[in-house]
Amino acid sequence: MKEVGLLQNSKTINKEMVATLLGQIQVSVDIVVSLVSMCKTHDK
């Protein structure tokens, strides 16, 4: 989440930087969702 702080401090936000950051967040969300799904199926 350091990247978010850097983006807030910067006056010029590059669209590529935003796209990269969103991509990284999407990967993190996918990992968390996968882990939660694995835990749910393992508990059954």
pTM strictly above 0.85: no
* pLDDT (0 to 100) of residue 17: 87
Q: Which amino acid is at 8?
A: Q
* pLDDT (0 to 100) of residue 3: 58
Rounded (10°) CA dihedral 1, 23, 26, 35: -90
Q: What tokens does 34 get?
A: 């996968």
* pLDDT (0 to 100) of residue 10: 59
- CA angle 32/36/42 to nearest 5° reads 145
* pLDDT (0 to 100) of residue 24: 96
Give the CA distances from residue 9 to residues 2, 3, 13, 18, 33, in Å, rounded to whole numbers and listed in that order.
11, 10, 10, 14, 30
